[in-house]
Amino acid sequence: MEIKKVVITNFKGFKDKFTIILNSGLNIIVGDNEAGKSTILEAINLALTGMFNGRYIRNELSQYLFNEKAVSDYIKSIKDDSPLPPPSICIELFIIGKAEVAPLEGDKNSDGIGHSGISFSIEFNEIYKSSYEALLKTGDVKTIPIEYYHVVWRSFARDAIIARNIPLKSAYIDSSSSRNKNGSDVYIGRIVKELLSEDEIVSVSQSHRQMKEQFMDAPSIEAINHKISEAGKISNKEIKISVELSSRNAWETGLTTYLDNIPFHFIGKGEQSIIKTNLALAHNKAKEANVILLEEPENHLSHSKLNQLIDAIKEGDDDKQIIVTTHNSYVANKLGLDDLILLNDRKTLKLDDLSPETKTFFEKISGYDTLRLMLCKKAILVEGDSDELIVQRAYQDRNEGKLPINDEIEVISVGVSFLRFLEIAEKLNQPVSIVTDNDGNIEALKKKYKDYLGGNTKLNIKICFDNIIDTGTLKIGDKPFNYNTLEPKLLKANDLTTINKMFGTEYEEINDLHKFMRNNKTECALKIFQANEKIKYPQYILDAIT
């Protein structure tokens, strides 16, 4: 049992109709800030639990739940005497499963076809129609009249439902914020409760009540209440302090979870996230399949702890649907780019057809900045640190002192993994330039990039290298010096005097400067990057930044 599709209308950042198709098992949602990653998790959790920010939404209705543009269009229409209907929020979850989801099947959904699922709406309540029309005539509507709204929670079969009727349960784990209530964590309490049998729940509840009754009968409490009653005429009724006993399940919020004798809400956020996730993964009630919503697990976790959490997620997704949001390339690479969903401009793209070799590469060597490539406007891929510095300075010199990142262009060192990154860029249609050495063998270079050169040229991918093979007499040991890397090409584009001045050296022979630059690649690149003077750059670098 799992969510196949989510449709969100007018909820927070999503106006009109936004649709996301989810994978079975693991989903990794990535996107820039304000792309809507958190909103997707909040929407799923709201539709399954009726809760938002740890509180029941029925009691927390607010204009700020609605899409800002939808609200402004509505207010503007009233001022123009052509009022639009009051906007509504709708969240639909299309669910697939076995017999347990059959009662949810119907055609009351935005697709208008038979499917199992639920619809959660915040909409205008028609019983207030006459009052609303009277309000409109006053011309004093400046916000959504939220007092006339209600929550409508139905299955696709048109039946009213509550969370208990939904066979799919969600666990929302957000390590970046605290969702505690009365010193206890609401989610921890609920998960612990679900792990208990009915007899154990009754036993805990009775023990909790006995503890409260003992509190009331304690001599010190009786003495305090006696003192209150003698303090003077406060009321014609008896006043005393006690503890709340009316709620049948008061123990859920009245108890505190401890870890090594420390209250749960006092331990670190990272440890909280690990414990919550492991509890959710361990929950195996026979007729329930959990949807685990995990918000940016990299928050508050060291690298080793993050690795432990990722391993737990990967091992636990066999019978769970896990939806993770992240900004962290390590998390995305390690969990698997095959399950990644890129959220961009309110649209989704998947990388589920990458080659097995590329998926395995990024999973095993997970330190690469794949998300920098996916989330930028354009990218320039280079081999190493010195190339990155030179390309950034060349861009700066050509663009009035602006670095590439100021124009949402990433310069990324990818080692020798150009083709792996190009496979991702091709799937996403991401504009990418590659800056690479020809290493004295242009034919080998053309063979390597045969899928992107000549008749196979892609509009979004540009391979930039020097078309001239340079030679010379210099040898390093018994090996001929390679005149076809970045440093010799930089020296060729300038002259001995300019480069000596840049580095503070006084070499009289060009080969001596070649050797110096070869042995001090990063230091030379850093001096060029930081220098007040400008130099000339090889044409293939200029081609890449144009």
CB-based burial, 33-56: b 16+ in 10 Å, e otherwise: eebbbbbbbbbbbbbbbbbbebee
Of the pLDDT bands very low, low, confident and very high (cuts 50, 70, 90), residue 41 is: very high
pLDDT at res. 194: 56
CB 25 within 8 A of CB 339: yes
The reported pLDDT for the residue numbered 304 is: 77
Cβ neighbours around 307 below 10 Å, total: 15
Reply yes or no on whether the pLDDT at 518 is more than 80. yes
- Which residues face 203 on adjacent strands? none
Whether 300 contacts 337, CB under 8 Å: no
DSSP state of 481: P
Helix residue spans in 416-479 (DSSP H)? 418-428, 442-448
Q: Are residues 242 and 161 in the same domain?
A: no
Kindly tell me the sign of the dihedral angle through the C-alpha atoms of 322, 119, 187, 195: negative
Evaluate whether residue 354 is within a structural domain.
no
pLDDT for 287: 40
CA distance to 59, 236, 441, per residue, from 418 (Å): 53, 83, 17
| 367 assigned to some structural domain | no
Same domain, 47 and 136: yes
Residue 119 contacts residue 91 (beta carbons within 8 Å): yes
Per-residue pLDDT tens for 344-360? Answer: 777 788 877 788 888 88
Position 511 in a domain: yes
Residue type, 191: I
For residue 180, pLDDT beyond 70 = no
d(CA 183, CA 204): 18
Domain end position, chosen among 327, 362, 388: 327
**pLDDT for the residue numbered 394:** 95
Q: Which segment, 122-131, 267-276, 310-319, 324-333, is predicted with the most confidence on average?
A: 122-131
Closest C-alpha to 337, from 294, 378, 368, 302: 368
Give the pLDDT of residue 379: 94
Confidence class of residue 285 from pLDDT cuts 50, 70 and 90?
Answer: very low
Q: Given this model, what pLDDT does residue 250 score?
A: 58
Nearest Cα neighbor of 380 from 164, 215, 526, 542 is: 542
Query: What share of the chain has pLDDT > 70, as a percent?
Result: 87
| Other Cβ atoms within 10 Å of 84 Cβ, number | 13
Question: 212 with 275, same domain?
Answer: yes
Is the pLDDT score of 81 beyond 90? no
Q: Which residues contact 468 (CB under 8 A, 6 or more apart)?
A: none
User: In this structure, which amino acid lies at residue 414?
Assistant: V
Whether residues 471 and 415 share a domain: the answer is yes
Same domain, 388 and 526: yes
| pLDDT surpassing 90 at residue 119 | yes
Task: Let me know whether 534 and 398 are in one domain.
Answer: yes
* Residue 67 within a domain: yes
pLDDT band at 7; cut points 50, 70, 90: very high
What is the band of 286 on the pLDDT scale with cuts at 50, 70, 90?
A: very low
Answer whether residue 171 is part of any domain.
Answer: no
The domain containing residue 58 runs over which residues?
2-23+35-166
**Pick from 468, 465, 467, 480: which is nearest to 514 by CA?**
480
N-terminal to C-terminal alpha carbon distance within the chain: 51
Q: Considering 289, 304, 327, which residue would you say is the last residue of a domain?
A: 327
- Over range 178-203, report the average pLDDT: 56
**Cross-strand partners of 170:** 291
Predicted pLDDT of residue 317: 61
**pLDDT at residue 31 tops 60:** yes
Say how far apart CA 104 and CA 167 lie, in whole Å. 10
Query: What is the spatial distance between Cα 119 and Cα 115, in angstroms, rounded to a whole number?
Result: 12
Query: How does strand 475-476 pair with strand 479-480?
Result: antiparallel
Tokens found for residue 500? 């000596």
Q: Is the pLDDT of residue 184 over 50?
A: no
Closest among 152, 154, 158, 153 to 106, alpha carbons compared: 158
Residue 54 maps to a domain: yes
**Any bridge partners for residue 342, and if so which?**
30, 349
CA 44 to chain centre: 14
- The pLDDT tens digits for 445-489 are 999 999 999 888 888 999 999 999 999 999 988 899 999 999 999
**522 or 197: whose pLDDT is higher?**
522
What is the average pLDDT score of the chain? 84
For the residues 171-183, what does the mean pLDDT come to?
57
Please tell me the total count of domains within the chain.
3
3-state secondary structure string across 314-348: HHCCCCCEEEEEECCHHHHHHHCHHHEEEEECCEE
Interval 388-414 mean pLDDT:
93
- What's the pLDDT at 121? 95
Examine the domain organization and report whether 115 and 218 are in the same domain. no
Q: pLDDT per residue over 124-149, tens digit each? A: 999 999 998 888 888 778 888 899 99
For the chain, what's the residue count? 546
Is the domain of 141 the same as that of 193?
A: no
State the Cα–Cα distance between residues 499 and 533, nearest whole angstrom: 10
Query: CA 60, CA 204: separation in Å to the nearest integer?
Result: 30
The pTM score is 0.75
Domain boundary among 166, 200, 217: 166
Mean per-residue pLDDT for 507-532? 93
Query: What is residue 66's three-state secondary structure?
Result: strand
- Answer whether residue 487 is part of any domain: yes
Structure tokens at 323: 């939806």
Q: 300 and 412: one domain? A: no
Question: Does the CA dihedral 519-523-526-527 come out positive or negative?
Answer: negative
Q: Are residue 114 and residue 191 in the same domain, yes or no?
A: no
Out of 65-79, 310-324, 376-390, pick the least confident: 310-324
> Largest alpha-carbon pair distance within the chain?
109
What sign for the dihedral angle of Cα 386, 391, 392, 394? positive
Q: Which residue has the higher pLDDT, 231 or 361?
A: 361
Res 198: pLDDT: 65
Instruction: Give 71-89 as a DSSP string.
Output: HHHHHHHHHTT-PPPPP-E
- Domain match, 122 and 199 both: no
Residue 521 lies in a domain: yes
- Report the range out of 415-419, 420-424, 535-539 with the highest average pLDDT: 535-539
Q: Are residues 128 and 187 in the same domain?
A: no
What pLDDT was estimated at residue 108? Answer: 92
